Copies of this chain bind each other. A is one copy, B any other.
């Protein structure tokens, strides 16, 4: 299975990302990009993307980026996540670019850059560092 097909398969099987409408735009070894379009159920009361949704997308993209860098049969699950919010995510599209910084046999570390896109202009809105643990992948039914 191609890397991007595996990432899309997990994305589609995951209630949160499927319902939110997360799209997988890039998935290579150690690098994943995902996008999310604005919808009412993803917003803060001021109409911008909710910080929790931004953290959620960062977490999901990080898990995917780490997993693509692991041997087949292994998956990375988040131990801890640290996210800094840099600017309100005002635009209609949220983009998360997750890049593996370290892939170990037990621990992975992933950096995630998050941008708000409006009128084809990307503005950084958050950055996250995610620490993950390598475990055996459960069967994907």
Binding site for B on A (CB under 8 A): 10, 13-20, 39-46, 50-53, 55-60, 63, 77-86, 101-102, 106-107, 109, 111, 124, 127, 129, 131, 133, 138, 140
Contact = CB atoms under 8 A, between A and B. Distances in A.
A111 B18 CA distance: 30
Given A16-B50, A52-B56, A86-B102, 16 more contacts: A13-B45, A14-B43, A14-B44, A14-B45, A15-B40, A15-B41, A15-B42, A15-B43, A18-B41, A19-B41, A20-B41, A55-B81, A80-B129, A82-B129, A129-B129, A131-B131
Contacts of A60: 50, 52
- Do most interface residues of chain A lie in helix, strand or loop, or is the interface mixed? mixed
A92 B9 CA distance: 25
Contacts of A20: 41
A57 B50 contact: no
Q: What is the oligomeric copy number? A: 4
A86 to B, nearest CB: 5
Contact of A16 (B15, B17, B44, B102): B44
Most buried by B among A20, A79, A101: A79
- A-B CB proximity, top 10 nearest: A52-B56, A19-B41, A15-B43, A16-B50, A55-B55, A13-B45, A15-B40, A14-B45, A52-B59, A82-B82
B127 A101 contact: yes
